[in-house]
Structures are given as structure tokens and as C-alpha cells.
């Protein structure tokens, strides 16, 4: 269970990180899916280094790819995609994609949330920590103890409802802003940018001073952040459209109905996912989800770099410079 100090850090850090991501997207004129993947990767990497290093950097180098570049970056991509989806007219294809994504993410949430405690620490260690049992005392997982290792369904649903209410409130504020005819400018003022950087640098110093973030992770993941920034920098163009061009009218008409339907789908899927039992191999939902996270973590950055290189090659070929 997180303490009040941990929640306070997250309440400050997440908005600061979100503001920085939108500033990067606007400054580098993010254009397409591959730019969005690089931006989501920056989110996942900074999240792992600054906000949740206690859970994402517990078993390196494995968790670099399963949790930081995998789970966190993939969830960041989905949330950024949701943000941009609400800025454009809802088509039938888009609605099907949104509802399908809500179902998949909800299932992941239910499965992962139920077994999160067991995944983050051994069952014996968790029972020892819960009841103050001294180290070295073996404890079998039967009866009441078998339920202790699982997160309660009502807890997961309360977290989900809280997040849904926050998203709904933000959409409402943005819709009021759009009704006033004010354009949505994502660039930060110099003072705001300085404040955001001060918060993140301060959090970075705190993690280093408390030895939560290790030096090796800082070097490796910091390099990945620089590569992702380089991708966004070199893919920008002075002319042409970007993903941000239509954000002045965010969100589009009918957003509340879409949010309600997505929320219902998400919660139903989370309940179904929570009810899935562990198995072996492909029958284990945790095994399947972990492999999805790992695959994404291993391949998104090389894929983005290869696409960028191929585009540069094609452009130079057309210009006769090769």
C-alpha cells in the first residue's frame, strides 16, 4: 500500500510529465503513429526512472523491457491515442477500435491487478510483510493466506472509477474551452516549462538520493530517451500537417456517450479478466500479457528507428543524393 507521500509525489509528477510530453509533441511537430510511439516511449522511460522505479526497476535488465519499455510505454501509447482520438470526428471504424481497446485494456487490468501483489514480491515475503512474520519462517499458501495474495476486486474497480471520473472531468473542461472558441495551445510558456523541468529534476534528484533509481538503469534508459527525442527531432518538418492540428475543437460532439460506453466495456472486461485463473504456458493469462508487453518493449524502438531510416533513404533517393 502506498503512503501519503507516494501519492503526493504522483499527483505532482504525472501532470508535470503530461505537460512535458505535450510540449515535446508540439515543439517537434509530431506527425504520425511512429512519432506517437516515440513520445509514448519517452513517457514509459521517464515513468520508470522517476515515478515508479520501485516497481519497474526491481529485476533489471528484465524489467527494462517488460515494464518500462513494455507495459508503461504501451499503456502510454494507448492513452495518447485516446487523447488524439477525441479530437477528431467519431467514425464507425474509430468507435469499434475504441471499444475494442477498452475491452482489451480492461481485461489486462483485471488480470494484472488481481495478481499484482504476487508478481511484485514472492507470496511468502508478502505474507511475512503483511503479518510481521520474521524472515526465515516458511508459510504455506492455503486457506485465508491464498486470498491475501490477490488484490480485492472492489479495490480495482474503485481505482478504475476514479480514473474514469478524472478523464471525464478533463474532457468536460476541454469541451467548455472549445465552446468558448479558444484554440488549444499545447506549448508551455517559459515560466511553465521551467516549473515542469524543476519538478521532474527535483524528483530525479530524490530518486538518486534515496537509491531507488540505480546508475545502470539511468545510463541505459537515459540513452533510450535521447534516441526517442532524436527520432522526434529528425522526423519534424517545417511544413505539412501534424497530429495536433485539430486539437482546437477537442473533444468532439458526443464524447460523453463514448466515454460512458467505453467505461462500461472497460469495467465488464476488468471483471472478466479478474475471474481468469492462472494456468501454465499459453493457458496462463499472465504469461500471455507478459509476452505482449515484452514483445512491444523489445521491438518498438528498433521499429521506429528503422522506419525513420527508410524514410530518409527514400527521400534522398528521390532527390538524387545517393
93's grid cell = 471504424
Say yes or no to pLDDT of 258 above 80.
yes
Residue 28: CB atoms within 10 A of its CB come to 19
Contact 47, 253 (CB under 8 A): no
Most confident of the ranges 153-157, 250-254, 262-266:
262-266
307: domain range? 4-318
Q: How many CB atoms lie within 10 A of CB 256?
A: 13
Tell me the per-residue pLDDT of 37-52, one tens digit each, with 9 for 90 and over. Answer: 999 999 999 999 999 8
Look at 131 and 281; give whichever has higher pLDDT.
281
Judged against a pLDDT cut of 60, whether residue 122 lies above it is answered with no
Is residue 63 within 8 Å of 57, Cβ to Cβ?
A: yes
pTM: 0.83
Q: What is the DSSP string of 25-74?
A: HHHTT--SHHHHHHHHHHHHHHIIIII-HHHHSSSTTHHIIIIIIIIIHH
Count of structural domains, the chain: 1
pLDDT over threshold 80, residue 118: no
pLDDT the model gives residue 117: 60
pLDDT over 50 at 8, yes or no = yes
Q: What is the average pLDDT across 106-135?
A: 63
Q: Pick the residue with more confidence: 1 or 141?
A: 1
Rounded to 10°, the helix 92-120/123-131 angle is 70
Region of poorest pLDDT, from 166-170, 202-206, 222-226: 166-170
Estimate to the nearest angstrom the gap between the alpha carbon of 37 and the chain centroid: 11
The model's confidence at residue 246, banded by pLDDT at 50, 70 and 90, is low
Can you give the pLDDT at residue 130? 47
Amino acid at each position: 500500500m502506498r503512503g501519503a507521500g507516494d501519492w503526493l509525489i504522483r499527483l505532482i509528477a504525472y501532470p508535470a510529465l503530461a505537460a512535458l510530453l505535450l510540449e515535446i509533441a508540439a515543439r517537434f511537430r509530431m506527425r504520425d503513429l511512429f512519432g506517437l510511439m516515440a513520445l509514448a516511449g519517452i513517457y514509459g522511460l521517464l515513468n520508470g526512472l522517476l515515478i515508479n522505479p520501485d516497481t519497474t526497476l526491481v529485476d533489471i535488465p528484465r524489467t527494462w523491457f517488460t515494464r518500462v519499455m513494455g507495459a508503461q510505454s504501451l499503456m502510454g501509447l494507448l492513452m495518447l491515442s485516446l487523447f488524439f482520438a477525441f479530437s477528431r470526428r467519431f467514425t464507425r471504424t474509430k468507435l469499434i477500435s475504441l471499444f475494442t481497446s477498452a475491452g482489451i485494456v480492461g481485461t489486462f487490468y483485471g488480470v494484472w491487478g488481481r495478481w499484482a501483489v504476487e508478481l511484485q514480491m514472492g507470496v511468502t515475503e508478502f505474507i511475512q510483510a503483511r503479518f510481521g512474520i520474521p524472515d526465515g519462517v516458511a508459510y504455506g499458501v492455503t486457506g485465508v493466506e491464498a486470498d491475501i495474495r490477490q488484490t480485492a476486486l472492489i479495490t480495482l474497480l474503485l481505482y478504475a472509477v476514479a480514473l474514469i471520473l478524472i478523464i471525464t472531468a478533463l474532457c468536460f473542461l476541454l469541451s467548455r474551452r472549445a465552446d468558448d472558441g479558444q484554440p488549444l495551445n499545447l506549448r508551455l510558456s517559459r515560466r511553465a516549462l521551467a516549473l515542469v523541468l524543476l519538478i521532474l529534476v527535483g524528483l530525479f534528484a530524490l530518486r538518486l538520493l534515496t537509491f531507488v533509481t540505480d546508475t545502470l538503469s539511468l545510463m541505459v534508459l537515459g540513452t533510450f530517451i535521447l534516441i526517442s527525442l532524436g527520432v522526434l527531432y529528425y522526423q519534424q518538418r517545417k511544413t505539412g500537417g501534424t497530429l495536433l492540428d485539430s486539437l482546437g475543437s477537442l473533444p468532439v460532439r458526443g464524447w460523453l456517450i463514448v466515454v460512458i460506453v467505453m467505461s462500461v466495456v472497460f469495467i465488464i472486461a476488468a471483471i472478466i479478466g479478474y475471474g481468469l485463473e492462472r494456468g501454465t504456458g499459453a493457458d496462463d493469462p499472465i504469461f500471455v500479457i507478459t509476452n505482449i508487453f515484452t514483445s512491444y518493449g523489445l521491438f518498438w524502438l528498433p521499429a521506429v528507428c528503422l522506419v525513420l531510416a527508410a524514410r530518409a533513404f527514400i527521400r534522398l533517393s528521390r532527390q538524387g543524393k545517393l
